[in-house]
Amino acid sequence: MVFLNYLISGIGLGSIYAIIALGYTMVYGIAKMLNFAHGDVIMVGAYICYFSMSGLSAHFEEGSLAAAVVPALAGTVLAMVVCTVLGVVIERLAYKPLRQAGSLAVLITAIGVSYFLQNAAQLLWSSSPKMFTPILSRDLQLSLPGGLSVSALTILTVVVCIVIMVGLTLFTGRTKMGKAMRACSEDKAAAQLMGIDVNRTISMTFAIGSALAAVAGVLYLSTYPSLVPTTGSMPGIKAFTAAVFGGIGSIPGALLGGLLLGIIEILAGGYISTQLQTAIVFAVLIVVLLVKPAGLLGKVVREKV
Amino acid sequence: MKRLATMKKSTRNNLFTYALVIAAFVVVQALRVGPGIGSMLEGQLIPICAYVTMALALNLVVGISGELSLGHAGFMSIGAFAGSAFAMALQDSVGLSPLRLALAMVFGALIAAVLGFLIGIPVLRLNGDYLAIVTLAFGEIIKSIATNVYLGMDGNGLHFSFLNDTMDLSDGGVELIRGPMGVMNSQRISTFIAGFVLVLAALTIIFNLVNSRTGRAIMAARDNRIAAESVGISVTKYKMIAFVTSAALAGAAGTLYGCSQTTFVATRFDFNTSILILVFVVLGGLGNMWGSVIAATALTILPEALRQFSELRMLVYAIVLILVMLATNNPTLRGFFTRLFRREREGADAGVRAVKGGGGHE
């Protein structure tokens, strides 16, 4: 019974990691860069949602249905919009000028952007922790037969994750933009020759990834409510690990990696030791990479001489 | 003839680096004896030496061996913990503090090298971004483990426990490592001179390694793994040599840093520290040792010097970092600088074609 409860919260956490990992994996697949600022976009999204929720909730009657739904929904949408714009602006100002540069230069720039976002957040919103109001009350529990209980928040998280995953799979598989994205990730020069606007495609990828980061931020903070300017970095690193775990560049890989990572983290914390939780997660990652060097679902690219 | 010219350039670069470090040491030491350099800079001297050594060590892996490591702070951490504990354990038997520091550094370097070897076995089988993520993972694992280690010493010898403090030291026992509370040094034995010696030693080791048969094999493996293998170079072996040397230097730097602090904890050496050191290396130029020295020094002083802007300082740091990366790597901007430079050079006497080496940074 305890095991099933751990499993459920693991799936909940894993779904959040999966949503963040999608942002990493899409950007990596197309721009071949590790976007270390992605975790901080999560934090910005969470702050935007926090402020709009606390601003809006005063206008509604307490306890009414509207008070429960409207601020949360509006906050999430606003956070998505702001993060989308932020993601595109970051790409345009910091990453686009380095399109031809080496991958290390881009990595360091991404780290610079990450520092920038964290410190700007600290200046704007101070470093004292804010208590995030969950978008769905944590008291809303669904009782299952056998003494199990699942919080509505976990169900919402999993549903959102599935919707996003299905949506993205359809998007990259069926639409013109999605096909352009896959073409760019395969071979940028050839894609350009086929009349694909590579810059626009990359901007689009950053826009989608950042919007997903905002959703993930709202969901993450609903579960772990303490909001500070460095909130985003740890889930960011974990989700990056999840993306590598599943095979970076692969969308189903991000889902699988995220879910497994979340489950392992919760189980390790529950059964072994909370102090060594993170160490165990990373140890499993190392073992997986040794057995499958390109991640669980990653493609092994053969190097030609 | 061409080979001779490049050889000369590298020797010239090496001599320039030694001269730079020695000159900086002499100037700082003269100022310390004379007018003093201010308490802010005085407190930064040993950390600067530690970070310069870290940057040199990481440059060996990233610049010379061509593998991205995101967990080098882990080796620094191991060095700091092992070295400090060793120094404290020797406190009664070895009275002379410079000797104790030297022994502690060797011990820290040794432990870090052993760990580097063990980590290197799985890590060096991977390549590219996967290698980077695994080093990141090891850095985090080292941090988690170091946070939960308890080590103590009393009349009965060494006591060790993990996760919970169950050491039960007898009277007069010393706690060497106290889990999440980190290490508390009873004496701060690191000195600026020791730091300077460490930097010089690191430079000597790296230059001798790079200019040897081994070093050329390492660089060949970096430039083209398959071609290097086809001429009989064991890529894993040479990458391992670079990795272990780098880990040992990082361990010694960690000991220097650890022994200069009254107290430090394992979370001090986290992912951000690894990144900070990587920033030194990339800003200084990959494979460029004097660049690393300058970048590490400047970027350790910069946040302190910006303290008058208090809250804005890290924001300024971030903006400077992004702008420098854009300026040095954007083809348009770089073309502009090269043109500017060439015009200057044409204006100057054509015979004076010395100074400008390889770098092209800053």
Q: Where are the domains of chain B?
A: 2-294
Element (H, E) at B140: helix B129-147
pLDDT confidence of residue A65: 73
Q: How far apart, in whole angstroms, are the C-alpha atoms of residue B304 and residue B293?
A: 18
| CA nearest to A257, candidates A28, A1, A2, A103 | A28
Q: How far apart, in whole angstroms, are the C-alpha atoms of residue A290 and residue A293?
A: 6
Tokens of A171: 């998007």
How much is the pTM?
0.84
Cα→Cα distances B129→A104, A249, B332, Å? 11, 12, 28
Q: What is the DSSP string of A184-248?
A: HHH-HHHHHHTT--HHHHHHHHHHHHHHHHHHHHHHHHHHS-EE-TTTTHHHHHHHHHHHHHH-T
Average pLDDT over residues A194-199: 92
pLDDT confidence of residue B349: 43
Residue A252 lies in domain? 2-291
Q: Strand pairing partners for B152?
A: B159, B175
- Give residue A268's identity as a one-letter amino acid code: A
- Walking along chain B (362 residues) 10 residues at a time, the average pLDDT comes out as 60 86 88 79 89 95 90 94 90 83 94 94 80 88 90 78 73 77 82 93 94 93 90 92 96 94 88 89 88 91 76 80 83 71 54 37 34
Average pLDDT over residues A271-300: 84
Element (H, E) at A29: helix A2-31
State chain A's mean pLDDT as an integer: 88
pLDDT confidence of residue A56: 86
Domain containing A211 — which CATH number? 1.10.3470
> Which of A97, A240, A285 faces B326 most closely, judged by CB atoms?
A97
Interface check A74 vs B, CB under 8 A: no
pLDDT confidence of residue B2: 53
| CA nearest to B268, candidates B279, B257, B253 | B257
Tokens of B104: 């502690």
pLDDT confidence of residue B201: 95
- Complex ipTM above 0.90? no
Residue A302 is assigned to a structural domain of this protein: no
pLDDT confidence of residue A36: 86
Average pLDDT over residues A65-86: 89
Query: Which pLDDT tens digit goes with each residue over B234-265?
Result: 999 999 999 999 999 999 999 999 999 888 89
Q: Strand pairing partners for B97?
A: none
> Which of A108, A241, A275 faces B282 most closely, judged by CB atoms?
A108
Q: How far apart, in whole angstroms, are the C-alpha atoms of residue A120 and residue A132?
A: 19
Tokens of A54: 């606390």
Sign, Cα dihedral of B255, B259, B260, B265: positive
Find the range with the poorest average confidence among A83-92, A251-260, B153-162, B261-270: B153-162
Residue A301 is assigned to a structural domain of this protein: no
Residue A298 is assigned to a structural domain of this protein: no
> Which of A105, A244, A278 faces B325 most closely, judged by CB atoms?
A105
How many A×B Cβ pairs under 8 Å? 125
Q: A94 vs B322: CB contact, 8 Å cut-off?
A: yes
Residue A89 is assigned to a structural domain of this protein: yes
Query: Which pLDDT tens digit goes with each residue over A95-123?
Result: 988 888 877 888 889 989 999 999 999 99
pLDDT confidence of residue B7: 60
Q: What is the number of other CB atoms lying within 10 angstroms of the CB of residue A301?
A: 9
Interface check A167 vs B, CB under 8 A: no
Three-class HEC string of A73-138: HHHHHHHHHHHHHHHHHHHHHHHHHHCCCCHHHHHHHHHHHHHHHHHHHHHHHCCCCEECCCCCCC
B-chain CB neighbours of A241 within 8 Å are: 133, 136-137
Tokens of A143: 């009782």
* Per-residue DSSP letter, B186: S
- State the smallest CA–CA distance between residue B269 and chain A in angstroms: 15
pLDDT confidence of residue B5: 55
Q: How far apart, in whole angstroms, are the C-alpha atoms of residue B266 and residue B74?
A: 9
Interface check A291 vs B, CB under 8 A: no
The total number of structural domains in chain A stands at 1
Element (H, E) at A162: helix A152-174
Residue A297 is assigned to a structural domain of this protein: no
